[in-house]
Amino acid sequence: MTLIRALMIRTLAVVAAALMGANLTYQRWIAPLEADRTKSARELATLNEQIQSARKEMWKIGRREQSSAQVRIAVSSMHEYLPADAVPIIWLPPRLKTTLSRFGVSESKIELYHTSAERALPGFERTLWHVAIPKQPSLNKLTDVLLAVAQIEQQEHFVNIQDLEFHSESQEPGKITGFVNLTVFLPESKN
C-alpha cells in the first residue's frame, strides 16, 4: 500500500505541478494576451465608430462642395457680362448713371466708399458705393427718383440698395435731393 500511496502522491504532485505550471503559464502569458485582445477589440470598435463618423463628415463636406460649386457657378454667371479686366471704379459709375438717366435722373455723383474681401466666397469682394442725386429740374416727383434707384437693383443683380435718403429742398419747393448707398458684390479686381 505504501507503494500505491507513493505512486498516488507522486501522481498528485505531478498533476499539481502541471496545474501550477499551467496556471503560471496562463497568468504570465495567456492572461495578458487576453487582456490585450479585449483592449484591442474595444479600440477597434471605437476606431470603427470614428471611421463611420469621418465617412459621414466626408459625405457632408462633399455635399457642401457641390453646393458651393453650384453657388459659385450662379454667382459667376451673374457677373459673366461684366468687363473681365476692368476695375469696377472705371465701369460701374457710367453703368449706374445710364440706368438712372433712363428714368430722368440726368445728374448723379457716384463714389466708391469702401472695398472689402468677401470671406464667405474667396475671389469676390464687397464694395460700398455712395450715390448723390442733386436737385434737378427734370425730376418732378419723388417716385421718379425711387423708380430710377429701384431699377438699378432690378437690372444689376449684383447690386443691393442698403439705404435711401431723399428730401425736398425747403428753399426750392418741388426739388428733390437724395442719397443712396449701394453694396455691390463683384469678382476681386486683378489690378
Domain ranges of the chain: 1-78, 88-187
The per-residue pLDDT string of the chain (191 residues; one tens digit each, 9 = 90 and over) reads 677 777 777 787 777 777 777 777 777 777 777 887 888 889 989 999 999 999 999 999 999 888 888 877 776 666 666 666 667 777 888 888 888 888 777 788 888 888 888 887 777 788 898 888 877 665 556 677 777 778 888 877 778 888 888 776 666 665 667 788 888 877 776 65
| Cα angle for residues 175, 178, 184 (degrees, 5° grid) | 150
88-187 is classed CATH 3.30.70.60: yes
pLDDT for the residue numbered 151: 81
Judge if pTM exceeds 0.85. Answer: no
